[in-house]
Structure 1
Amino acid sequence: MTQRPRLAIVSTYDELCGIAGYTRALEQQLRDSMAVQVFDLDQYLLRSNHHRVQQLGDAHIQEIASRLSDFDSVNLQLEHGTLGRTVPQILRRLRMLARAAPALSVTFHTILDEAVPPMGQVWQQAARLKLGAATAAALDGLRSWTLAHGVYAELRRQQRRKPVHVITHTRRDMRLLRDVHRLADVHHHPLSFVPPETAAAIRAAATRDAFPMMKRLPPGAKLIGTFGFLSPYKGFETAVQALRYLPEDHHLLVFGGIHPQAIARNQPRDRYITQLLQEGHIGQSVIDTLREGSASTSLALDGSAAQLLARHPQDLHDRLHFMGVLDDAQFMTAMALCDTVVLPYLEVGQSSSGPIAMAVEMGCRVIASRTRAFLQFARYHPGRVEFFDIGNFAELARRIEAGPPPPAEPRGPVHDTASNAALYLRVSLPPGMLPPEAAVAEAEPLSAAPQRAETVG
């Protein structure tokens, strides 16, 4: 019996984060064709500030590296911060893994070039005497530039010695790494989590009984879902603002919580949760709002004081529901139950998003802010994403209430878990070991394709 090819995936795995969720999905996609072993990046060891624990973090990476020669190929799911806190830590640990791999593929989840602020922006802040903000922006930009170019330089060195493949989530990022940073073998494919047959089964079985907090909602309630860890760049406050302009039967369900790495010591309430509660006037009275509007407001309370101290008339407590953190299966069930999935993210240079990929694969109606990442993602799934301008809650409310547009005619190649698995097989195995379904490259799926050859998953 011929031994199946062996693939090592180095990634976070048991953590509550998007990279770990994608790795779990990828493992399922590849297990029928390869023997896959995931090496979990221990975030306690790799993210600690303590000097002794940092040494244990290096030893942890060295232990993983010592085992990679037993595999035919190694894939690194690269989110830079999962390897360490500082630039030297991250680059040192990346080198250990890259040099130990017999053949290497690297999946970029963030392209740090987008994180470098333009110098004009830095000088503008300095000119306004915002020296602290200007210095912080310049230092962050320098850190991102140093880290990104250190990673690219290491991969260029390794590609002269052995097979090195790179996977990005957008064609734009592929062209940046290929044409600007001179990485030799770069591919692109959107994130993909859910096979079509699994999505259909989840939708068929999904009921509100799976979520106790949903059972109290009126049967005819229209459910708007936002998904992901609670962070200011997610822009969930835009969805809260839009809810105020929607009929009473519309309810906003916030699926997610604070990221484990963002939980602060001795903080009574996360600042972003406080912002969302204030936006929904939850737990506020009219007098609280007046005080927020002006710190110098002086009120003479008379017989109407009870009305000022009572619940705010625009309190959205009955229509805004915080649903908590979900596991992978609950996440997809929740999407299946929502009438609309809204992703109102800000533009922060992000190159991919797990929630939008899951929502599209689950067959949901998806409305997303017009960020570069979402626009790039939608090119792989024509007609599946509706857009509104970042922060425009009035447009978002109108779009939700108007209902979905007519279904788009399918066109171009399909990008799903099958094509994703085929790409990973192509970069992980030599041509003689490829199964027939993975050996044939797909046609270029996007418009304005360059004339030079490139592989598309």
Structure 2
Amino acid sequence: MTQKRLAIVCSYNESCGNASYAHVLRNKFSEYVHCDVIPLDLFLLQKSSPAFQSAGDRHIAEIAARLSAYDYVNIQFEAGLYGAKDADVLRRLTMLLDACRSVVVTMHRINPPTFHLPRVFWQFAETFVAGHPIVATRAMLAEIFYARPAAKLYSRIIEACRRRSRAANVSIMVHTKRERRIVREIYRFDKVVDFPITFLTEDQRREVLEKTDVEAFRRRHGVAPGVKVIGAFGFISSYKGYETLIHALKELPDDHHLYLFGGQHPASVAENVQLDPYIESLLKLISEKNDEVVGDARRRLMPFTRGRTVPADTGPETAGRMEETLSKLLSYDLLKRVHFIGELSDPHFIEALRGCDAVALPYLEVGQSMSGVIALAIECGANLYCARNRSFAEVMKYYGEVFVSFDIGNHVELAQKIQRGGNRFEEARNRALATYNLQSNVALHLEKLGFTLPAEPRLPQTGTAQPAA
């Protein structure tokens, strides 16, 4: 019997969640079909000059020509991977769709048509009056210059899927039930399914839970004895709300340290920029919070002492406390409790998720689909603290209550709950992951592609990661 062939089109040789997700899918698909990865050349695709535009189109045309040799195709789609302009993105995806006989387009985000100018200005006014002028301005500009055009692009992309579905087997996969409803009820395309992001096989998950060496993790990152590690993960971006973590750190005891496992997003690297503006703002905030603590302590001590001299009539117990406060004041440095670790390899990323005393995801509400970090954190049994945004509310529709929640931006609530101690929700996670796992994810992909799974998977074969053309 001729072996079926499947190609995954994605940003494979890049440092991003899309590439990591495609890698685990390829390994699992390979238990059933011959699976190759055809990587996108982002060097050619993500620039808008005419020369790069033409080169990018040729690159996509070459990929499309190769897809004719495959029975099935999975396109991992994020708009920014396929072009700098909406017209380029739509044209290139259409070229790929037209080359496929059976395809699942995995969309990692769907923008609904929500733009309404009076509502945008009203929300701006409310936020501005509440004392958040920068947040209000950013939100309004994002709505006007990003959300509305993005919704129009996704409408056209789904229309391209609908046109191709008249001659080929075309399905869309999304990662939340909300986005499935958007595709089906707003954009009126019925061949859509939803499934959360998954990364680990059952054996891999068991190994993480049972064999992660927390002490090795602490030695690797220089974590001092007695320090409680609060971890933040992934690229450092403004929508992740890291300001909330810094505010919370100020409220926590000195033995709590913040570790940022991730670095600047490659797409934000610009010529002649000495420091990423968002990272610069975080460093400034750390300095400001440090000065607040020192200033408050000085004001409290001022009535009792000048400089470092304790009044002679002060009792020994009070004098001891004052000396201790003075000592802490002189040595206080919030920056020493914030650690920028940088990017990690996948195994060390997983080890850190499991090894942290707390994993905090204080993300703002930006209309994000499912986060790859929260998906992997749930699989790894991380001690999770998540902001109450709509994306994480969607996660709960699959997994139930498997993390501690706090209101967006409420650093006091976050600090109190971290200090109180979390709950890894082992039983609830095990129940949910019995249904929403990598095996079920791949089975759903193959079902929509028209492949019938055997009763038992065959032994894995070696697919290839095809070089970019």
TM-score by length of 1: 0.83
**1:273 is the counterpart of 2:279:** yes
Q: Which residue of 2 aligns with 1:242?
A: 248
Determine the structure 1 residue equivalent to 2:437: 416
Cα distance in 2 between the residues matched to 1:136 and 1:336: 35
Aligned match of 1:70: 69
- The count of residues paired between Structure 1 and Structure 2 equals 417
CA contact (8 A) 2:289 2:334 kept: no
Instruction: Work out whether 1:435 is the aligned partner of 2:454.
Output: yes
Cα-Cα RMSD: 3.0
Residue 326 of structure 1 is aligned with which of 344, 356, 375? 344
Asked whether the equivalents of residues 102 and 162 of structure 1 are also in contact (C-alpha less than 8 Å), the reply is yes
Q: Read off the aligned partner of 2:278 and give its amino acid letter.
A: Y
Specify the SS of the correspondent of 2:197.
coil
SS at match of 1:324: coil
Give 2:409's match in structure 1, choosing from 385, 391, 409. 391
**2:287 partner letter:** H
Which whole-Å CA distance do the structure 1 matches of 2:254 and 2:369 have between them?
36
CA distance, structure 1, for counterparts of residue 220 and residue 290 of structure 2: 22
- Whether contact under 8 Å (2:250, 2:289) holds in the other structure is no
**1:226-255, CA deviations, whole angstroms, 9 ceiling, x for partnerless residues?**
101001001111111111111222111110
- Relative distance call for 1:125 and 1:414 in structure 2 (3 A) is closer
Residue equivalent to 2:149: 143
Q: Say if 1:4 and 1:33, in contact at 8 Å, map to a contact too.
A: no
Tell me the residue number matched to 2:93: 94
8 A Cα contact 2:97 2:103, kept in partner: yes
CA distance in 2, matches of 1:132, 1:273: 17
One-letter amino acid of the counterpart of residue 434, structure 1: L
Partner of 1:119: 117
Query: In structure 2, what is the equivalent of residue 344 of structure 1?
Result: 362
Change in 2 beyond 3 A, CA 1:88/1:211: farther
Residue in 2 that maps onto 1:202: 208
Gaps in structure 2 of 5+ consecutive residues: 129-135, 297-306, 309-328, 458-469
Q: Does 1:153 align with 2:155?
A: no
Partner SS state of residue 278, structure 2:
helix
Taking a change above 3 Å as real, the CA distance of residues 285 and 367 of structure 1, as seen in their structure-2 partners, is closer
Give, in whole Å, the separation in 2 of the partners of 1:16 and 1:31: 22
Alpha-carbon distance between aligned partners in 2 of 1:11 and 1:148, rounded to the nearest angstrom: 18
Q: State the alpha-carbon separation in 1 of the partners of residues 252 and 137 from structure 2.
A: 42
Counterpart of 1:44? Answer: 43
Q: Deviations over 1:95-146 (max 9, x none)?
A: 10001111111111011227x5432244448999x99996774343442132
- 1:314 to partner: Cα distance: 5.3
Identify the residue that residue 236 of structure 2 maps to in structure 1.
Answer: 230
Q: 2:251 aligns to what SS in structure 1?
A: coil
Secondary structure at the residue paired with 1:21?
helix
Mapped partners of 1:207, 1:287: distance in 2: 32
Does residue 379 of structure 2 align to residue 373 of structure 1? Answer: no
Contact 1:365–1:384, Cα closer than 8 Å, also in 2: no
The one-letter code of the counterpart of 1:358 is L
Shift of 1:165: 1.0
Report the Cα distance in structure 2 between the residues aligned to 1:187 and 1:407, rounded to whole angstroms: 27
Q: Which residue does 1:8 correspond to in 2?
A: 7
Structure 1: 5+ residue runs without aligned partners? 291-302, 305-310, 439-457
Matched, 1:404 2:422: yes
Q: Distance in 1 between matches of 2:226 and 2:116?
A: 49
CA 1:314–1:98 in structure 2 vs 1: closer, same or farther (change >3 Å)? farther
Q: Give the 3-state SS of the residue equivalent to 1:226 in structure 2.
A: strand
Structure 2 letter corresponding to 1:190: P
Q: Quickly say closer, same or farther: Cα 1:391–1:60, change in 2 above 3 A.
A: same
| Separation in structure 1 between the aligned mates of residue 268 and residue 244 of structure 2, nearest angstrom | 22
Cα distance in 1 for partners of 2:191, 2:450 equals 14
Structure 1 counterpart of 2:177, from 166, 171, 181? 171
Alignment CA distance shift 1:135-1:22 (3 Å) = closer
* Higher RCO by CA contacts (8 Å cutoff, separation 6 or greater): 2
Residue 263 to residue 212, structure 1, CA distance change in 2 (3 Å): farther
Question: Is the 1:281–1:312 Cα contact (8 Å) retained in structure 2?
Answer: no
Which residue is 1:449 aligned to? none
Deviations 1:339-359 (A, max 9, x none): 111111000000111100010
Report what 1:214 is aligned to: 221
| Counterpart check, 1:315 vs 2:315 | no
Residue in 1 aligned with 2:373? 355
Kindly tell me: are residues 39 and 407 of structure 1, through their superposed partners in 2, closer, same or farther at Cα, counting changes over 3 Å? closer
Deviation at 1:151? 0.4
Find the aligned partners of 2:293 and 2:380 in 1 and give their Cα distance: 44
Q: Offset at 1:199?
A: 2.6
SS in 2 for 1:96: helix
Distance 1:279 1:313 in 2: 19
Q: Which amino acid aligns with 1:354?
A: G
SS at match of 1:67: helix
Contact 1:383–1:408 under 8 Å retained in 2: no
1:185 shift after superposition: 1.5
- The CA distance in 2 between the partners of 1:235 and 1:126, in whole Å, is 19
Q: 1:95 to 1:289 in 2, by over 3 A?
A: farther
| Whole-angstrom distance in 1 between the partners of 2:444 and 2:241 | 33
Q: Which whole-Å deviations, capped at 9, do the CAs of 1:150-203 have from their partners, x for residues lacking one?
A: 101111111121111111101121122112212122111100011232133235
| One-letter amino acid of the counterpart of residue 99, structure 2 | A
Letter in 1 for 2:207: A
| 2:321 match | none
Following superposition, the deviation at residue 30 of structure 1 comes to 1.4
Return closer, same or farther for 1:316/1:182 CA change in 2, 3 Å cut-off: same
**TM-score between the two structures when normalised by the length of structure 2:** 0.81
Is the 8 Å Cα contact of residues 384 and 422 (structure 2) preserved in structure 1?
no
